[in-house]
Amino acid sequence: MDKAIEEKYIKAGEVAKKAKELARQELKAGVKLIDFAEKIEGFIKKEAGLAFPINISINDFAAHCTPDINDDSVFKEGDLVKIDLGVQVDGYIADTAFSVKLGEKNNVLIKASEDALQEFIDNIAPGKTIDEMTKIVEEVVQSYGVKTVKNLAGHSLEQYVQHGGLSIPNMHINSKHQFKEGDVIAMEVFTTNGEGFVIESSPTFIYMFVRPNALRLNESKIILNKIVDQYKTLPFAKRWLKDLTSPVKLHMALREMVERGVLHEYPPLREKGRGLVAQTEETIIVKDKPIITTK
């Protein structure tokens, strides 16, 4: 990897670490999710760029949850909260997540997730296979008497691409693909006391530009120009576009762009058996001595 690119990954990771520390401080029962999201995202924007909207997924929701415009929901005592945040410097991404059970210090799902990811970090190196590394993750999680979420996975990172071509599942798979020196991966471990699978839910508040196409609505054209200019091929939140038009017209524009294949939508992911879900994630540059940019 070019040294200048590596430094950008590291810089993004430094900002992500500070944002994560701030998020831990601000995450309290009674706090409005929208206020929390805007505070953490605002902090990131002062120091770097947002790689994606902050994900705030609670209890049996695993991922892709972010507040809507004028969301009035609050964190509650007993909530198992996943905070997933991303920072980018010139498109080079730091992706990290942590979990907190509000009002509880020791939670087995969180412990299993954290320890499995640490074991992954301790063993990752050039030449290691996905077979070896996913086996480690699954064995650690199962040792706690809980399950991995089998249809969620860690992933590679590329410039302006949050989910690259490489997938590292939470379940053991027989893949002989070898990690290479300089691979950048966001490894995330999801644990649950439910069925071990997630399904799509609704409503959707996170989208990503995929490709241009003809659009009928004038609002769609205006909004698309903003999306491409500001976010490129990185995910964005519906609420980030609230000042461009009315809520009704914004909804119609986003719907048209999804239907025309211009945008990809990220529906919230919910545990199939309504089990609780925990998540831990760090960004890793693969080397003989790996660089954990977000830790």
- The candidate with the shortest Cα–Cα distance to 295, out of 283, 280, 279, 278, is 283
Q: Name the one residue in this structure whose structure tokens are 């945040």.
A: 85
Query: Which one of 79, 138, 188, 219 is the catalytic residue?
Result: 188
For the stretch 72-106, pLDDT in tens is: 999 999 999 999 999 999 999 999 999 999 999 89
Domains of the chain by start residue, with CATH: 3-201+273-292 (3.90.230.10), 206-265 (1.10.10.10)
Q: Is 281 a catalytic residue?
A: yes
For the stretch 279-290, pLDDT in tens is: 999 999 999 999
Q: Is 259 a catalytic residue?
A: no
Q: Is 177 a catalytic residue?
A: no
Give the tokens for residue 17: 């670490």
Query: Which one of 41, 95, 183, 265 is the catalytic residue?
Result: 95
For the stretch 186-231, pLDDT in tens is: 999 999 999 999 999 999 999 999 999 999 999 999 999 999 999 9
Q: Is 95 a catalytic residue?
A: yes
pLDDT exceeds 90 at position 1: no
Query: Which one of 183, 219, 265, 281 is the catalytic residue?
Result: 281
- d(C-alpha 101, C-alpha 105), whole Å: 7
pTM over 0.75: yes
Q: Is 131 a catalytic residue?
A: no
Question: Torsion angle, CA of 67/235/18/164, rounded to 10 degrees?
Answer: 140
Query: Which one of 6, 158, 163, 195 is the catalytic residue?
Result: 163
Q: Is 251 a catalytic residue?
A: no
CB-CB neighbours of 34 under 10 Å: 19
- d(C-alpha 229, C-alpha 11), whole Å: 23
For the stretch 166-176, pLDDT in tens is: 999 999 999 99
Query: Which one of 84, 115, 138, 271 is the catalytic residue?
Result: 84
Give the tokens for residue 292: 């954990």
For the stretch 217-273, pLDDT in tens is: 999 999 999 999 999 999 999 999 999 999 999 999 999 999 999 999 999 999 999
Query: Which one of 79, 114, 155, 172 is the catalytic residue?
Result: 155
For the stretch 42-60, pLDDT in tens is: 999 999 999 999 999 999 9
Q: List, in order, residues 6 or more apart from 259 with CB less than 8 Å away.
A: none
pLDDT exceeds 90 at position 138: yes
- d(C-alpha 219, C-alpha 208), whole Å: 17
Q: List, in order, residues 6 or more apart from 77 with CB less than 8 Å away.
A: 29, 102, 103
